[in-house]
């Protein structure tokens, strides 16, 4: 426990493992009149990032006035609405210096944005918040605080972070553990064994499903929701429309309309359980209104829903690539080039990279398809094929081939 002011104490774990790639993005906005919003799925480490930021502040200002609220702690259960939040924070102000305000899981406070708007009027307030519901945070903040907040998406551990957290070397066995169990930071406290990790993952999945979705949106038929999640997990990386999902579920004696599918998928993406990726017409320069892909934020959760099966290796590989691209900060779309598909169009800092993903390049038809599709793109941005093959050799007509393990170790392109 670290004492941070004359009025309160914060329970900071004795060992906070660093995630410097995130902290380095946040530090330039520290002590600025702009709210720092950390969003992401439950248990991806948002609270620990707050602790890391608090430690950074205390390192620079040992007597800093840090005000910390954790809505998952019963100690703060009395803070239910905007007025309660504002009154509590104001009661902890000091007459001089900055007030560093940290609020964890703020979406559990009714009308929280009203309190933030009021607190932001005081230039001595430096505000940091976390949340596990994308729509609630982006909607309320965009409406009330346009231009006065900046959002940082927090994800499960990347492969390099996973290796560092678990004190592992890069190897086939390490990559297999990462692919199987995912990158929840808390796994460092558990032996990486199937039975033990599965129990932990099942608990997280249940919390997300029932607390963040069923309870929040007042859903009555949880069976339909669970079957939808199972379908998305079983078809990771496949192109589907709401209608095609509805038709399939009806064939399995589960009646759910296309509109309801869209609503439920929205709930799942709001809770960061899945990511929806739109398809982009590279000829017509437009987003398709139907047909998209879905990937899981955490592969460990995906695998406990439908199992970790050899026949799913290609789906898992594609999800691994997608998640690492997110971690590196890319905005991602699926590309449609006539009848051909480009797995990922990745954009960042006004630059692009095109990526194809294939399990192996042992067949000539696969080689021609994966490299051939990229060769048809009429621009000079970098192009890459990522596979589970260790052999790299020379490029194929200028297109690089990269082994998945090497790709996951990249910090950026």
CA distances from 365 to 318, 342, 360 (A): 19, 16, 11
pLDDT of residue 241: 92
pLDDT over 60 (residue 113): yes
pLDDT over 80 (residue 211): yes
pLDDT over 90 (residue 143): no
pLDDT of residue 9: 61
* Average confidence score pLDDT of the chain: 93
133: left (phi over 0), alpha (psi -120 to 50) or beta: beta
Q: Which residue has the higher pLDDT, 358 or 412?
A: 358
pLDDT of residue 392: 65
3-class DSSP state for residue 338? Answer: coil
pLDDT of residue 197: 98
pLDDT digits (tens, 9 = 90+) for 279-288: 999 999 999 9
The CATH 3.40.50.300 domain(s) of the chain lie at 2-153
All residues at 6 or more sequence positions from 328 whose CB lies less than 8 Å from its CB, including other chains: 348, 410, 411, 412, 413
Segment 364-384 shows an average pLDDT of 93
Segment 239-267 shows an average pLDDT of 94
- Helix, strand, coil share of the chain (percent; to 5): 45, 20, 35
pLDDT of residue 237: 96
CA distances from 73 to 103, 108, 302 (A): 11, 12, 28
Q: Which residue has the higher pLDDT, 364 or 342?
A: 342
Residues of the chain with pLDDT > 90: what percent? 84
Q: How many CB atoms are closer than 10 A to CB 351?
A: 11
Quote the CATH superfamily of domain 2-153.
Answer: P-loop containing nucleotide triphosphate hydrolases (3.40.50.300)
pLDDT over 80 (residue 391): no
pLDDT of residue 164: 96
CA distance 322 to 401: 17
* Side-chain half-sphere CA neighbours of 356 within 13 A: 26
CA distance 381 to 162: 30
pLDDT of residue 267: 95
pLDDT over 60 (residue 100): yes
CA distance 113 to 101: 14
Segment 375-379 shows an average pLDDT of 94
Q: What single DSSP character describes residue 74?
A: G
Element containing residue 253 per DSSP (H, E): none
Confidence of residue 95 (pLDDT cuts 50, 70, 90): confident
Segment 156-172 shows an average pLDDT of 97
Segment 263-273 shows an average pLDDT of 96
Confidence of residue 1 (pLDDT cuts 50, 70, 90): very low
pLDDT over 50 (residue 7): no
Supply the DSSP string of 157-224, one letter for each residue.
PPHHHHHHHTT--SSHHHHHHHHHH---GGGGGS---HHHHHHHHHHHHHIIIIIIIIITTT-S-HHH
Q: Which of 15-24, 201-210, 264-273 has the lowest mean pLDDT?
A: 15-24
Q: Which of 9-23, 32-46, 195-209, 266-280 has the lowest mean pLDDT?
A: 9-23
pTM, rounded to two decimals: 0.94
Q: Which of 24-28, 92-96, 153-157, 291-295 has the lowest mean pLDDT?
A: 92-96
pLDDT of residue 140: 76
CATH class in words for 309-413: alpha beta
pLDDT of residue 8: 54
Segment 78-92 shows an average pLDDT of 97
pLDDT of residue 4: 46
Confidence of residue 14 (pLDDT cuts 50, 70, 90): low
The span from the first CA to the last CA of the chain, in angstroms, equals: 40
The CATH 3.40.1350 domain(s) of the chain lie at 309-413
Q: Is the dihedral of CA 65, 94, 150, 24 positive or negative?
A: negative
pLDDT over 50 (residue 394): yes
């Amino acid at each position: 426990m670290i004492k941070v002011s004359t009025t309160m104490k914060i329970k900071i774990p004795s060992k906070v493992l660093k995630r410097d790639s995130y902290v380095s993005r946040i530090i330039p906005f520290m002590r600025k009149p702009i709210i720092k919003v950390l969003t992401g799925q439950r248990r991806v480490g948002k609270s620990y990032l707050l602790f890391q930021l608090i430690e950074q502040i205390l390192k620079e200002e040992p007597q800093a006035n840090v005000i910390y609220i954790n809505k998952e702690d019963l100690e703060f259960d009395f803070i239910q609405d905007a007025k309660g939040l504002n009154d509590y924070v104001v009661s902890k102000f000091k007459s001089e210096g900055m007030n560093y305000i940290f609020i964890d899981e703020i979406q559990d406070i009714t009308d929280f944005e009203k309190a933030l708007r009021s607190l932001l009027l005081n230039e001595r307030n430096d505000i940091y918040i976390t949340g596990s519901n994308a729509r609630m945070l982006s909607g309320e903040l965009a409406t009330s605080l346009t231009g006065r907040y900046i959002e940082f998406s927090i994800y499960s551990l990347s492969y390099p972070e996973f290796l560092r957290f678990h004190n592992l070397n890069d190897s086939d066995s390490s990559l297999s553990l990462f692919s199987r169990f995912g990158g929840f930071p808390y796994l460092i406290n558990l032996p990486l064994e199937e039975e033990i990790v599965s129990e932990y993952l099942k608990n997280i999945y249940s919390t997300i499903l029932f607390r963040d979705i069923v309870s929040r949106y007042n859903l009555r038929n949880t069976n339909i929701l669970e079957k939808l999640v199972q379908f998305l997990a079983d078809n990771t990386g496949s192109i589907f429309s709401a209608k095609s999902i509805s038709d399939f579920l009806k064939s399995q004696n589960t009646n759910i309309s296309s509109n309801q599918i869209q609503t439920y998928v929205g709930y799942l993406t709001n809770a960061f359980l899945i990511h929806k990726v739109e398809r982009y017409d590279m000829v017509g320069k437009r987003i398709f209104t139907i047909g998209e892909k879905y990937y899981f934020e955490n592969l460990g959760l995906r695998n406990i829903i439908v199992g970790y099966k050899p026949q799913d290796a290609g789906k898992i590989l594609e999800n691994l690539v997608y998640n690492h691209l997110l971690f590196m900060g890319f905005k991602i779309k699926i590309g449609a080039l006539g009848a051909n598909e480009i797995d990922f169009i990745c954009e960042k800092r006004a630059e692009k990279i095109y990526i194809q993903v294939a399990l192996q390049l042992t067949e000539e038809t696969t080689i021609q398809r994966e490299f051939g599709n990229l060769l048809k793109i009429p621009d000079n941005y970098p192009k890459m094929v990522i596979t589970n093959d260790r052999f790299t050799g020379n490029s194929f007509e200028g297109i690089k081939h990269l082994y998945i393990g090497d790709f996951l170790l990249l910090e950026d392109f």
